[in-house]
């Protein structure tokens, strides 16, 4: 029997991301002089890999708030915005590759900034998420996607946008100008300029709708049901990837879709849900084919052992072996063939050709099991007979090879 395997290759849709010119609103932040000093002192030799960069920070800073400050300060001051690729379509098949590219080139769009920031946080044991959404610039909602970071350093959630923290664009030219404006931003402040697609990542008990964001009414309508985002995030972490896609889709559709940016992300989620379903179906089919092949393997192995047993029997069990060894020869082949039968009983193919193959295999297994049962009857009588009289028992049976 030929082993069969089905494989698929899918490329997920990756959407465009933007770099926007931030509107600066002054905010007070704690004193992070120590963390900033560490970030300024990072030698180029440790920036070649994310592992060495992570170790450099963790060896000098233990406080999570200081660590996340060092990450923000270093990334925003050392990664320039990649204006040339601002609108380019680049599927991100492997975030690790994106991080390597960002460190090597010292340039990225928001995806690279966020991926690098997120990986540094994870290596430091800081809970964080990359948030996907869109933004408002100078009072105008931009129909381009953007990513930023949500992190938890103590008991509260705060936001970080190292892309906007690095500078801004002026007539398609990147102007490097570090700002603290997008460091450790509270949810009620971040929602004024950053709108997540999924309302769970607003971290607000009364999430803002896209319409409210469009109209700059970002306080949230309290007539809407209270939303426990902390519990929702815990549930999110317990879900499989397809379940996370489906849950996000439900929340986004309930919150409203008023622009192409949101609609595109909804299509992205639906495409991923479809891909996950297709891959799951293919995985299930491959598992059934694997089990079918195992049934074939066990049958073939059992049939080979049975033929060896019959050949030994036709030689009147010579050269001599112990009764235990003779019994084991037949028992072993029976175990393998019955295991094949068990596997077959659990398979249910939809494909007609596989159904026919399974039926044929099942019939062949039944024939062999019948012959094995006949031999078990004979062998019990043979082994119960005194050794000097056993040849007479053999003479009363006629044997054929399988």
| DSSP per-residue string spanning 162-202 | HHHHHEEEETTEEEE---STTSSB-HHHHTTTEEESSGGGG
Provide the whole-model pTM.
0.75
Instruction: Specify if 126 maps to a domain.
Output: yes
Which residues does 399 contact at the CB level (< 8 Å), separation at least 6?
310, 313, 314
Tens of pLDDT along 57-88?
999 998 999 999 999 999 999 999 999 888 76
Least confident of 17-31, 176-190, 203-217, 332-346: 17-31
Same domain assignment for residues 174 and 294: no
CB-CB contact of 128 with 104 (8 Å): no
Where residue 71 sits, what CATH number does that domain have?
3.10.620
Q: How many domains does the chain have?
A: 2
Where residue 342 sits, what CATH number does that domain have?
1.20.58
Instruction: Specify if 374 maps to a domain.
Output: yes
Instruction: Specify if 88 maps to a domain.
Output: yes
Task: Please determine, for residue 6, whether its predicted confidence score (pLDDT) is greater than 60.
Answer: no
Tens of pLDDT along 243-290?
999 999 999 999 988 899 999 999 999 999 999 999 999 999 999 999
Instruction: Specify if 370 maps to a domain.
Output: yes
Instruction: Specify if 44 maps to a domain.
Output: yes
Q: Which domain holds residue 151?
A: 33-196
For 109-120, b/e burial (b = at least 16 CB within 10 A) is bbbbbbbbbbbb
Instruction: Specify if 13 maps to a domain.
Output: no
Instruction: Specify if 289 maps to a domain.
Output: yes
Share above pLDDT 90 across residues of the chain, in percent, rounded to a whole number: 75
Same domain assignment for residues 39 and 158: yes
Instruction: Specify if 141 maps to a domain.
Output: yes
Q: Mean of the per-residue pLDDT values for the chain?
A: 88
Domain end position, chosen among 141, 162, 196: 196
Domain end position, chosen among 173, 196, 219: 196
Helix axes 33-40, 64-78, angle to 10 degrees: 40
Domain end position, chosen among 196, 220, 255: 196
Q: What is the distance in angstroms between the CA of the first residue and the CA of the last residue of the chain?
A: 17
Q: Which residue has the tokens 């010119």?
A: 21
Residue 258, pLDDT score: 85
């Amino acid at each position: 029997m030929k082993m069969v395997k089905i494989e698929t290759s899918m490329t997920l849709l990756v959407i465009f991301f933007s770099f926007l010119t931030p509107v600066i609103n002054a905010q007070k932040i704690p004193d992070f002089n120590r963390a900033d000093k560490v970030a300024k002192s990072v030698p180029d030799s440790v920036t070649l890999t994310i592992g060495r960069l992570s170790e450099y920070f963790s060896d000098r800073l233990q406080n999570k708030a200081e660590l996340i400050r060092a990450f923000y300060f270093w990334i925003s001051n050392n990664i320039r915005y990649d204006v040339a690729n601002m609108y380019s379509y680049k599927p991100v098949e492997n975030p690790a590759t994106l991080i390597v590219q960002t460190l090597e080139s010292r340039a990225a769009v928001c995806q690279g900034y966020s991926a690098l920031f997120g990986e540094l946080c994870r290596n430091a044991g800081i809970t964080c998420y990359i948030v996907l959404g869109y933004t408002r610039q100078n009072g105008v909602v931009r129909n381009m996607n953007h990513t930023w970071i949500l992190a938890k350093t103590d008991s509260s959630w705060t936001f970080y946008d190292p892309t906007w923290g690095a500078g801004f664009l002026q007539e398609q030219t990147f102007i490097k100008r570090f700002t603290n404006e997008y460091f450790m931003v509270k949810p009620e402040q971040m929602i004024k300029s950053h709108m997540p697609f999924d309302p769970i990542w607003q971290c607000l008990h009364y999430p803002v709708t896209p319409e409210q964001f469009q109209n700059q009414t970002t306080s949230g309508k309290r007539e809407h049901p209270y939303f426990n985002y902390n519990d929702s995030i815990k549930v999110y972490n317990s879900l499989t990837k397809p379940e996370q896609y489906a849950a996000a889709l439900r929340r986004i559709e309930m919150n409203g879709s008023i622009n192409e940016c949101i609609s595109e992300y909804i299509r992205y989620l639906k495409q991923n849900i479809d891909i996950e379903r297709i891959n799951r179906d293919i995985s299930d089919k491959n598992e059934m084919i694997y089990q079918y092949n195992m049934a074939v393997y066990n049958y073939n192995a059992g049939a080979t052992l049975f033929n060896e047993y019959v050949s030994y029997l036709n030689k009147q069990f010579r050269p001599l072996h112990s009764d235990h060894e003779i019994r084991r020869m037949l028992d072993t082949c029976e175990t393998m063939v019955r295991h094949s039968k068990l596997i077959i009983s659990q398979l249910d193919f939809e494909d007609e050709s596989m159904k026919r193959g399974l039926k044929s295999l099942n019939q062949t297994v039944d024939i062999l099991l019948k012959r094995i049962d006949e031999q078990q009857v004979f062998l019990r009588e043979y082994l119960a007979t005194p050794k000097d009289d056993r040849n007479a028992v053999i003479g009363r049976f006629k044997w054929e090879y399988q």
